[in-house]
Structure 1
Amino acid sequence: MELEIAIRERIQERYNILHELYDIWFTENPTYIAPKERFYQQDHIEKHRAITYLLDKGYIVATPVSNEPEQVAVCITVEGIDFFEQGRLEGKGNGWGIVIEQSNE
């Protein structure tokens, strides 16, 4: 049960990141500009791994900002949009509740 909860939390984390970038995509400026250290979340290993996963899958891209070496431009890709929309329509990444059954031993 603990592993299942961890998996669900990790999936939710990836959907949360995609959701934020998905919303930004449909604005006037579809790119999120952030300090590299804040985006890559080195101090928060779970978030860092989620970002690395999304980059490796090609669902998001991060490119250096010209003349701003400490900044990174991040946006969702068309594959990321398709994955996010399909997942949401299938009910994935919509948030979830944890029900833990306790036995009376």
Structure 2
Amino acid sequence: MELESAIKERIQERFDILHELYDIWFTENPALIAPMERFYQQAHIEKHRAITYLLNKGFIAANPVENEPELVAVCITVDGIDFFEQGRLAGKGNGWSVATEYSDE
């Protein structure tokens, strides 16, 4: 059951990242501006892999900020919005209950 728990935690991590970017998307500035080293989270391998996964799936986009080489603009893509909304409506990624759902088995 440890592997299933780890998988659920990783899914939750990806949904948490999408949730933050989803909320930002519907504000005046639809992108998160962050220092590159903070966004890519090299020191936190799980978060780094989650971000890499979301980038590779095309659910988020990260672009350099013009005239600011240390900054990156990160936003959710239309595919990311669809995936996040469908997942939420299907009951996925609704908090840690996803990660702990089978903890009693």
Give your verdict on TM over 0.5. yes
- The answer to whether the aligner puts 1:17 opposite 2:10 as a matched pair is no
What is the DSSP-based 3-state SS (H/G/I as helix, E as strand, rest coil) of the residue aligned with 1:11? helix
Shift in Å at residue 16 of structure 1? 0.1
Quick one: higher RCO (CA 8 Å, sep 6+), 1 or 2?
2
Shift in Å at residue 56 of structure 1? 0.1
What is the DSSP-based 3-state SS (H/G/I as helix, E as strand, rest coil) of the residue aligned with 1:93? coil
Question: Gapped runs of 5+ residues in structure 1?
Answer: none
Residue by residue over 1:25-67, the C-alpha shift from the partner in whole angstroms, topping out at 9 and shown as x without a partner, is 0001001000000000000000000000000000000000011
What is the DSSP-based 3-state SS (H/G/I as helix, E as strand, rest coil) of the residue aligned with 1:37? helix
Shift in Å at residue 68 of structure 1? 0.4
What is the DSSP-based 3-state SS (H/G/I as helix, E as strand, rest coil) of the residue aligned with 2:62? strand
State the TM-score, normalizing by the size of structure 1. Answer: 0.93
Larger radius of gyration: 1
Task: Return the alpha-carbon distance in structure 2 between the equivalents of residues 14 and 46 of structure 1.
Answer: 10
Percent identical among aligned pairs is 79
- Considering only aligned residues, what root-mean-square deviation do their CA atoms show, in Å? 0.9
Shift in Å at residue 100 of structure 1? 3.7
Task: Return the alpha-carbon distance in structure 2 between the equivalents of residues 100 and 16 of structure 1.
Answer: 24
Structure 1's consecutive aligned runs of 4 or more residues displaced over 4 angstroms after TM superposition are none
